[in-house]
Amino acid sequence: MDNLFSLLLLPLISAIVLVFVRSDRAKWVALLLSLINLGLTVPFLLRFDPQAGVQFEQMWVWIERLNVNFHIGLDGISLPLVLLTNGLIPLIIATTDHTRFKGNFYALVLFMQLGLLLVFTALDAFSFYVGWEIALIPIYFICALWGTGDRVATNLKFFIYTFAGSILMLIGILYLYQQTPAGSFEWTAFAGLNLPETTQHWVFWAFFLAFAIKIPILPFHTWQPNTYVQAPAAGTMLLSGIMLKMGVFGLIRWLLPIAPLGVAEYGTLVMTLCVIGIVYASLIAFRQDDAKRLIAYSSIAHVGLISGGVFSLTVDGLQGAMIQMVNHGISVVGLFFVIDLIERRTGSRSLSELGGLASRTPKLAIAFLILVMGAVGLPLTNGFIGEFLLLKGLFGTAGYGLWYAVFGGLTLILGAVYMLRLYQKTMLGELPEQWFSVSDIKSTDVVILGILVVLVVVIGVLPNYLLELSEPAINNLLQQISFRTA
């Protein structure tokens, strides 16, 4: 039962199977297979011991001559993200329109799942890098084949931009490989390297840029709004719900332990970028007319706060980042789904055209409201737990902590402005005549939104189960860093 590899293998097999499913039933086959994978994840959660470090380890020699291993395992930092991935994939599949997509689409989704899981579980830099690129290819095709608008140019930019980051990281990985005494790609070997300070400075940038582009952190974010807007809804959910967490995860798993002195050197700069990004992206979100683009910018603001929490190098900040990655995944998938449901009904995402839908779609309006409240961090929703811990982390940062917290905290106000505007302009006010016949959400959609909304509240009331998973690992990491920078 504790064969972690099976979690990676099943998406791969599923993807291959789905290539051959050509009928309308592809969605349900994909859903079933992804649910099985979610089911397989549960035993790992139940048997996971937060105190015990890396567990369920598996390792095979991959390329003997180069000392490359296929090495995976779970610890407190990767488990929440594995849960997030395996939990969201079935939901995202369920949100799709089964008449529109055939087996090949779902095959790509599941193939991407393999890449994501490999990224989160890899304990070998080579495996990590392979996963990192595997995840990129399917999403590129999903966006390029099923997207809208100027999708080819947008996707090319997205691909080249993120790939440029990856190449920098690859250079970093190869350099580190050469520095290890026995020539190893092992995470432990990398983390154990005591690189000289100047080396750590440039290694920092090699990794940071790759992650910063993926997240994205200001000013490396400009690929994101267009890509999110033009991708099909499921693609946007994959990108924002799960894929961007690869970047944050990368910061925590790889950057912090490898280049702690680089982090110490440039931490203030990055924190400043993150905090500026929160305010900057929030303000831009004020002025968006396209609901999807609005959420895209709000997402930049939110991940800015998450990244700020990582660089605060405090338990609160990192724990906040861990739980907020999960929360952000839940809420952003929910929000994009709501926008998709609105668009399917009205053919529009334009805030100046929409309005008054609550009277026709009361169920959707309620779910939307709870998701909005989660996104603005109302207490007893999941968003509050994350924002509270992240801001507390920012506040506790050595140096300018208070100012990070104050400016980062502006998200409380600015977030309320743009999210409530989004809600008001879609749901409230007079219903335009052309949408008198719009109908409320039904069956599957109710279930999906129901699950998301319940998660929003349950995590908001009982966050400790999640927090406990990652706390020992985070504490351990911080100890390592403080030891190495002392």
Partner 1 sequence: MNELIWIVPLLPLLGFVFIGTLRNYLPQWLVSLVGCGTVLAAFVASVALFSEVYGARMVGGTGEITQELFTWISVSDFQVSFRFLVDPLSAIMLLIVTGIGFLIHLYSTSYMHKDAGFAKFFSYLNLFIFFMLLLVLGSNYLVMFIGWEGVGLCSYLLIGFWYKNTNYAKAAKKAFVMNRIGDLGFLIALFFMIAHFGTLEFAGVLGQAKLMVSGDATLLIITLLLFVAATGKSAQIPLFTWLPDAMAGPTPVSALIHAATMVTAGIYMIARSNIMFTLSPITMQVIAIIGVATAVVAAFIALTQNDIKKVLAYSTVSQLGYMFLGLGVGAFTGAFFHVLTHAFFKALLFLGAGSVIHAMSDEQDMRNMGGLRKALPITFATMLIGTIAIAGIPPFAGFFSKDEILAYAFVENPVFWVLGLGAALMTAFYMFRLLFMTFSGTFRGTDTQKSHLHESPWPMTTALIVLALLSVVGGALNVPEALHGHHWLANFLHPIFADSAAVSVPFSLDHTTEYLLMAASTIAALAMAAVAYTRYAKSSAERSEKSVNDRGILYRLSYHKLYLDEAYELLITKPLSSLAGAFKQADVKLVDGLVNGVGRMFVTAGNGIRHLQTGHVSFYIFMMVLGVAGIMLYGLIAQLIER
Beta-ladder partners of 74 = 55
Cβ proximity to partner 1: between 264 and 406 the closer is 406
Q: Which is nearer to partner 1, 173 or 422 (CB)?
A: 422
Instruction: Quote the tokens at residue 293.
Output: 């683009």
The gap from C-alpha 323 to its chain's centroid, in whole angstroms, comes to: 11
For the bound state, the minimum distance from the C-beta of residue 210 to partner 1, rounded and expressed in Å, comes to 15
DSSP codes of every residue in 348-371:
--BTTT---GGGT-HHHHHHHHHH
Write the single-letter amino acid at 363. Answer: K
Nearest alpha carbon to residue 253 among 74, 67, 68: 74
Among residues 426, 429, 316, 416, the alpha carbon closest in space to that of 374 is found at 416
- Shortest Cβ 237–partner 1 spacing (Å): 23
User: Nearest distance from residue 76's CB to partner 1, in Å?
Assistant: 13
Question: Shortest gap between Cβ of 55 and partner 1 (angstroms)?
Answer: 22
Q: By C-beta, is 186 or 471 nearer to partner 1? A: 471
For partner 1, the closer of residues 316 and 445 by Cβ is 316
* Closest-CA residue to 187 (of 322, 80, 71): 71
Radius of gyration of the chain (CA): 21
Question: C-alpha angle 22/142/440, rounded to 5°?
Answer: 80
> Residues 414, 387: contact at Cβ < 8 Å?
no
Q: Which is nearer to partner 1, 117 or 394 (CB)?
A: 394
Nearest approach, Cβ of residue 314 and partner 1 (Å) = 9
Output 192 or 472, the one with its CB closest to partner 1: 472
CA distance 45 to 150: 42
Where does this chain bind partner 1 (CB under 8 A)? Answer: 157, 160-161, 219, 221-223, 280, 283-284, 286-288, 315-316, 319, 355-356, 358-359, 373, 378-380, 384-385, 388-389, 391-392, 395-396, 402, 405-406, 409-410, 412-413, 416-417, 420-421, 424, 427-431, 461, 463-464, 467-468, 471, 475
**Residue 231 or residue 459: which is nearer to partner 1 going by CB?**
459
Q: How far is the CB of 281 from partner 1 (least distance, A)?
A: 9
What one-letter code names the amino acid at 408? G
DSSP three-state, residue 429: coil
Min. distance of Cβ 155 from partner 1 in angstroms?
A: 14
